[in-house]
Amino acid sequence: MKLLLRLSPLFLSLAACAGMPPPQARVLLYGEQHDQPDQQRQVAQAVRDLAAQQRLAAVVLEMAEQGGSTARLAAGADEAAVQEALRWSAAAWPWDSYKDVVMAAVRAEVPVLGGNLPRSGMRAAMQDEALDGLLPAAVNDQLKTAIREGHCGLLPAEHEGGMLRIQLARDQSMARAVAQAAHDASPGQQVLLLSGAQHAARDRGVPLHLQRLGFKADELFVTMFGASDGALPSDRLLPATHSPGPDPCEPLRKRQKD
C-alpha cells in the first residue's frame, strides 16, 4: 500500500483513465443511472478489482437503508441471506440490477452497508426547515429541476420543497454512512459509494455533505458514466453502453389518468 501511495502523479492520472481510481482518495463515489446495466457491471468490476488489491474497506449503497449490513455474514452467504441482512426492498430496487455489485463485495469479505435515509425518517425530513439552508439557492433550484424531471413533470409544485428536503436528507444519510465506514477503515483503504448520479455529483450531492463532515475535496473521487454532454460535475467520466428501455414516465402518466 505504501508503494501505491508513492506513485507519481502521471501514473495516477494514467491509472484513473484506465479505470482504476487513484489510491489516495479515501472515498470513491460512483453516480449511476438506475436502468443502465453496463454502469452497474462496471461498478461490480471496480468492486472486484479493489477488493483483489485489498484496497476496499466497505461498499455503501443508496439502494439499502442505513442500518442494513452484511458485516456479520460469511463470504459464502447466499443471496437470500444477503438481501435479508440489507433489508432489501425488491419493490424499490430490482435485486438483479445490483446483485453483482453486492455479491462481489460479500464474496471478498468486504461489508456492504445501507446508506439511504430510512422510510421512517422521510416525514420528519419533509418538515425539517433546517435542510433548506444547507446548499446555495442556485443549487437548490437545480435539484428542484432534477426532481421535477425525475417525476416526469407530474409532481405538483407545492410538493417540490418537501421532495427537495428528502433528497438532501438522503444525501446527509449516505454521507454519514460513508464517513463512519471511512473512520473504521484501515489506513490506506477506501470506501465505495454507489448511488444515483444526482446524489454523487460534486456540486450538489454527497461530496458536499462529506466536506461538511471534515473530508477534504481531494479525498473524494467521483465517477460518472455516459456522454459528456450534460454530465454532472465529477472527476472522471467513463463510457458506458446505453440500454434503451420502456418510457419510465408512462406508468406515472397512466396512474394520473386513472
* Per-residue cell: 254: 397512466
> Within a 10 A sphere around the Cβ of 123, how many other Cβ atoms?
11
> What tens digit of pLDDT does each residue of 45-83 get?
999 999 999 999 999 999 999 999 999 999 999 999 999
**Between residues 248 and 231, the one the model is more confident about:** 231
- Winning range, highest mean pLDDT, from 19-23, 226-230, 237-241: 237-241
Write out the three cell numbers for 164. Answer: 427537495
Q: What CATH number does the domain located at 23-121+164-242 have?
A: 3.40.50.11550
At position 15, the amino acid (one-letter code) is: A
**Distances 75 to 19, 81, 82, 105, 163 between C-alpha atoms, Å:** 26, 11, 10, 9, 38
State which of 210-214, 225-229, 246-250 shows the largest mean pLDDT: 210-214
Q: How confident is the model at residue 155 (pLDDT cuts 50, 70, 90)?
A: confident
> Who contacts 258 (Cβ-Cβ below 8 Å, separation ≥6)?
none
At 28, give phi and psi (nearest 5°).
-110, 115
> What does each C-alpha distance from 139 to 28, 65, 130, 161, 230 come to in angstroms?
22, 25, 16, 13, 16
Confidence of residue 247 (pLDDT cuts 50, 70, 90): low
Q: Is residue 151 within 8 Å of 251, Cβ to Cβ?
A: no
List pLDDT tens digits, range 76-102: 999 999 999 999 999 999 999 999 999
The pTM is what?
A: 0.89
Helix 95-107 × helix 79-86 angle, to 10°: 100
pLDDT computed for residue 4 by the predictor:
31
Instruction: Express each pLDDT in 191-205 by its tens digit.
Output: 999 999 999 999 999
H or E element at residue 192: strand 190-196
pLDDT band for position 160 (cuts 50, 70, 90): confident
Nearest to 209 by CA among 160, 235, 174: 174
**Pairwise CA distance, residues 5 & 125, whole Å:** 40
In this prediction, residue 234 carries a pLDDT of 96
Phi, psi of 163 (to 5 degrees): -70, -35
Cβ atoms of residues 102 and 112 within 8 Å: yes
Count Cβ atoms within 10 A of the Cβ of residue 203 and give its class: 0-12 exposed, 13-18 middle, 19 or more buried: middle
* The pLDDT of residue 253: 62
So where are the chain's domains?
23-121+164-242
Q: What is the mean pLDDT of residues 157-176?
A: 93
Residue of 86, 97, 104, 107 whose CA lies nearest to 177: 86
Res 157: pLDDT: 81
Looking up cell 416525514 gives: 123
110-128 confidence digits (pLDDT tens): 999 999 999 999 999 999 9
CA end-to-end span of the chain, whole Å? 59
In the predicted structure, residue 103 carries a pLDDT above the cut 50: yes
> In the chain, what percentage of residues exceed pLDDT 90?
73
Task: Name residue 150's amino acid.
Answer: G
| Strands of 54-166, DSSP E | 56-65, 112-116
